[in-house]
Amino acid sequence: MHTPEQAAALLQVPASWLRKKSAAGRIPCTRVGRHLRFSTEDLNAIIRSGSRRPDHHGHT
């Protein structure tokens, strides 16, 4: 389990961004009591949700 600061360092984003998005329910997170934590699976899901696939609907 990673603290918001540890997860932010791994994702190279501000910890405040993780806190804001998790509070809004926009990214997966884990609550341990009142503490916000991110599992490896949470981090992988955040990365997957941010990936964009190339647009294969070619324009003619």
- Top pLDDT among 59 and 54 is at 54
pTM (predicted TM-score): 0.79
Render pLDDT for 3-42 as a digit per residue (tens, 0 to 9): 999 999 999 999 999 999 999 999 999 999 999 999 999 9
8 near 18, Cβ under 8 Å?
yes
Asked if pLDDT for residue 57 goes beyond 70, the answer is no
53 contacts: CB under 8 Å, gap ≥ 6? none
SS (H, E, C) 1-49: CECHHHHHHHHCCCHHHHHHHHHCCCCCCEEECCEEEECHHHHHHHHHH
Asked if pLDDT for residue 45 goes beyond 90, the answer is yes
